[in-house]
Structure 1
């Protein structure tokens, strides 16, 4: 291997037999490979190790490349084989793409771009599990480190006829749930229950694996001849409970004074009902 070096600057030009090895220090990650691998494809590395470009070296003979070395092993494998398995995560593919562009490895950069495009099409913005059993709900809530919000929605629980605005309010609750799940999916586990028969529309909020509060959106109202089911969408209270549940993101229980200050009700309680309504709810459950 032919090496010419300027002692003042530490710059070196390298040209040698393809079977000869060189030592590379890429951002603190050490690699040992052949000149043949580095010059196998028409890239910036070929220019660096065929004598066309100067490279930096230290006193121990390591060639210094001022880049993050996290993906340099993948770069070398691609140069050796012409193909390589890409990382699973979007973040790491994007990192590898940046390195491929820096070293002017067009084929690898194209593969990364295609993989990112495919992931953008396939990956949902958020995922909302659909509850199919009580045990599944318990397992999901107990296994997550996030606070959780569950919407129980059951339009078919129609023992009594619905009031005029009830259908619209059911849709409003669903739309609000979808909106919140898009906003907070990275911070909160959202669950949807469409099989339970205990309620028609109810929000349940969990922190540290335990139920913290709920907002029941249904009640029984009385007409002259019969009872009706009324569904409401108390947006302000749902927003309030959502903000309160974010206090459970930390491992420590939230400060009760802070909970008191952020609550317009002074305490987390269910909506009140008349005794007749309470009897009706008990009978239905």
Structure 2
């Protein structure tokens, strides 16, 4: 049976599982997996002194590994501030506005776009993924998860092609190494750690 955690966020009550809250490195994982004392209300719920307005977005992201950001820029800015508080680096990166000229294409339309991504990226690692049309919906979710986990260290760019296999090219600018893999399956985010074991230290 799942370990249920009750949260009191600025007076609003939320319930979720411990596994959800510890899925990503950050505020909740540290709080629940260390001996740090936590404040609780009279009902025993963990009290967090934050505005609950966008907490459902934060919670759904931790549940599903993906989130649809609102269109209003002011809401995205508020969510970014909450993500910074909860130490969710990938969500912070997703919320950051970028100048159009420097914006990573994420889903590129041409091979030239992919090349520009590698050349213009200021991150230490760039991961380009070529995937078959049949996996289109899957890769939209893969992208969100990838940015959530490594968005502060890695620029990702996905390109759809008429192929039946997946090709992943990882460019490690720290060591000038390039890793090129082919797979019959969808992109596995763990492949980054496989080739760059110390990615968390970048």
Q: Could you say which TM-score interval applies, normalised by the shorter chain?
A: 0.3 to 0.5
More relative contact order, 1 or 2 (CA 8 Å, 6+ apart): 2
TM-score, normalising length: structure 1 = 0.34
